[in-house]
Amino acid sequence: MHVPFRRNRALRAFLLAGALGALSLPPAAAQEAGEVNIYSYRQPELIAPITEAFEKQTGIKVNTVFLSKGLEERIQAEGANSPADVIMTVDIGRLQRAEDVGITQQVEDEALQDAIPQQYRDPDGNWFGLTTRSRVVFASKDRVEQDEITYEELADPKWKGRICIRSGQHDYNIGLIASMIAHHGEEATEEWLRGLKNNLARRPDGNDRAQAKAIFSGECDLAIGNTYYVGVMATNEKEPEQKQWAEAIKVLFPNNADRGAHVNISGMAMAKNAPHPQNALKFMQFAASEEAQALYAEKNFEYPVKEGVPASDLVGSWGEINPDELPLSKIAEYRKTASELVDKVGFDEGPSS
Ligand SMILES: [Fe+2]
């Protein structure tokens, strides 16, 4: 016989809860008013300043679940009973994935549209950028004289054996390569990627900070990395050796003199089955407000998306960024092709000797 629908759903939720281990949000308590539940890929220390300020201002309690992987799968598995109200993550790849797997909902809100420039949000309101980060060139202060560069130039044989980069398949590089496809087309980007590969000092490996370290140690002269890591390294009291890595490099904003430096976003989305949609919207509006945007700038070394909110002094010391105005939705569109090109040219195998 059929189990009545409602019981069936409750039973499924119960079984899922068991299967996923102890959920940190008790579903019943999470449904109460005066709360908002955030599922975040972003690290606790990056989110806490914003959630604490929001709680203070509104009295709405913020419950945050931090995940390093499987956020999309978890919300999918929780289905209609998911306690998730807001999803926070980095990179257009992940934001778009959340939309693609159907765990977001469209939000049409004037405050959000006013605060967040069009190129940094989904045309249908499924995701919104909160901060931007540029994928820049780290250049050795000692061994690189020029203070300007373009992405195109990284394929010039004059850099042979001098460039370091992490895996071409990492979301950050896929975003950059997708932007090249948007600007130059697939064929020209393939050629560029081959040129860049041939200029590498070693096989792509490690994270962005490891590339700065490789410049410090003399293994390469140029590297590609995200801006905020320079701030994180320069102020790292826990691992002070990273200050030397930051000290060894200068930040060059590629194409600053023409179309602008490639930027990606960190952002947020309202979860499809948000049990507290009004509180979720309030939180999203707060995250885009001047107060929260200033916190992001100071604590995370990222660029606020909201116009008129300045970057931190440290970030400002690298010079003025002219951000590429290509809509992030375009980057999402070319990500798959970018990933295929990385494989096609054997990018992660490193330079052919
Ligand atoms: Fe990162």
d(Cα 119, Cα 116) in Å, to the nearest integer? 8
> Which residue has 């990395």 as its token pair?
225
Q: How confident is the model at residue 20 (pLDDT cuts 50, 70, 90)?
A: very low
In the chain, what percentage of residues exceed pLDDT 70?
90
Q: How far is CA 209 from CA 72, 204, 220, in A?
A: 27, 13, 13
Query: What's the pLDDT at 33?
Result: 66
CA of 207 to the centre of ligand 1 (A): 9
CA of 235 to the centre of ligand 1 (A): 16
Map out the domains of the chain as residue ranges.
5-131+264-309, 133-262+318-349
Q: Which CATH architecture has domain 5-131+264-309?
A: 3-Layer(aba) Sandwich (3.40)
For 278-311, how does the pLDDT look when each residue is reduced to its tens digit (9 = 90+)?
Answer: 999 999 999 999 999 999 999 899 999 999 999 9
Q: What is the largest CA-CA distance in the chain?
A: 78
Under DSSP, the state recorded for 79 is G
Q: How confident is the model at residue 30 (pLDDT cuts 50, 70, 90)?
A: very low
Query: What's the pLDDT at 45?
Result: 83
Q: How confident is the model at residue 353 (pLDDT cuts 50, 70, 90)?
A: low
Residue 15 has pLDDT above 90, yes or no: no
Residue 1 has pLDDT above 90, yes or no: no
d(Cα 140, Cα 109) in Å, to the nearest integer? 45
CA of 315 to the centre of ligand 1 (A): 16
The answer to whether the predicted template modeling score (pTM) of the entire model surpasses 0.75 is yes
CA of 200 to the centre of ligand 1 (A): 21
CA of 214 to the centre of ligand 1 (A): 18
- Give the SS3 label for residue 157: helix
d(Cα 20, Cα 77) in Å, to the nearest integer? 9
For 247-263, how does the pLDDT look when each residue is reduced to its tens digit (9 = 90+)?
Answer: 999 999 999 999 999 99
CA of 34 to the centre of ligand 1 (A): 32
CA of 226 to the centre of ligand 1 (A): 7
> Which residue has 């010391």 as its token pair?
317
Q: Which of 4-8, 158-162, 245-249, 265-269 has the lowest mean pLDDT?
A: 4-8
Say how many C-beta atoms besides its own lie within 10 A of residue 44's C-beta.
Answer: 10
**Residue 168 structure tokens:** 């071409």
* Residues facing 169 on adjacent strands: none
Give every CB contact of residue 29 below 8 A, 6+ residues apart in sequence.
35
Q: Using an 8 Å Cβ cutoff, are 328 and 117 in contact? A: no
Q: Using an 8 Å Cβ cutoff, are 139 and 148 in contact? A: no
* Average pLDDT estimate for 301-329: 96
d(Cα 225, Cα 164) in Å, to the nearest integer? 10
Residue 17 has pLDDT above 80, yes or no: no
Closest Cα partner for 130 from 35, 42, 233? 42
CA of 228 to the centre of ligand 1 (A): 8
Residue 44 has pLDDT above 50, yes or no: yes
Q: What CATH superfamily is the domain 133-262+318-349? A: Periplasmic binding protein-like II (3.40.190.10)
Query: What's the pLDDT at 220?
Result: 98
Q: Using an 8 Å Cβ cutoff, are 243 and 49 in contact? A: no
Under DSSP, the state recorded for 107 is -
Query: What's the pLDDT at 10?
Result: 42
Q: How far is CA 38 from CA 102, 188, 247, in A?
A: 17, 41, 36
* Residues facing 266 on adjacent strands: 90, 131
* Average pLDDT estimate for 132-144: 98
Average pLDDT over all residues of the chain: 92
Q: Is the dihedral of CA 48, 290, 235, 266 positive or negative?
A: positive
Q: Which of 29-33, 34-38, 54-58, 72-76 has the lowest mean pLDDT?
A: 29-33
* Average pLDDT estimate for 172-201: 98
CA of 42 to the centre of ligand 1 (A): 9
CA of 168 to the centre of ligand 1 (A): 15
CA of 308 to the centre of ligand 1 (A): 24
CA of 172 to the centre of ligand 1 (A): 8
Q: How far is CA 71 from CA 54, 74, 233, 336, in A?
A: 23, 5, 28, 21
